[in-house]
Amino acid sequence: MLSENIKRLRKQKGLSQDKLAKLADITLTTLVKIESGANDNPTIKTLKKIADALEVTVNDLLENQPDKPDSD
């Protein structure tokens, strides 16, 4: 969930992994590990940096993004 949310938000902003890592002041390796799911428990400090760079909240990174329900 976290990895998918970061990847989705990054792509929505038109950012490469390298660009987001620089904006968030984290290493590219750290971002790649988070997006790939290899690091599924990053520090809150790292999450805050990524959220700030993406202009979203940490909660936006963590929350489940449910599919839009069909209208009945």
> What is the reported pLDDT for 67?
52
Q: What is the pLDDT of residue 38?
A: 95
Instruction: Give the residue carrying structure tokens 């940096």.
Output: 49
* pLDDT tens digit at each of 72 positions of the chain: 899 999 999 999 999 999 999 999 999 999 999 999 999 899 999 999 999 999 999 999 998 865 544 444
Q: In order of start, what are the domains of the chain with their CATH numbers? A: 2-62 (1.10.260.40)
pLDDT number for residue 69:
44
* Nearby residues of 42 by Cβ (< 8 Å), 6 or more positions away: 2, 30, 34
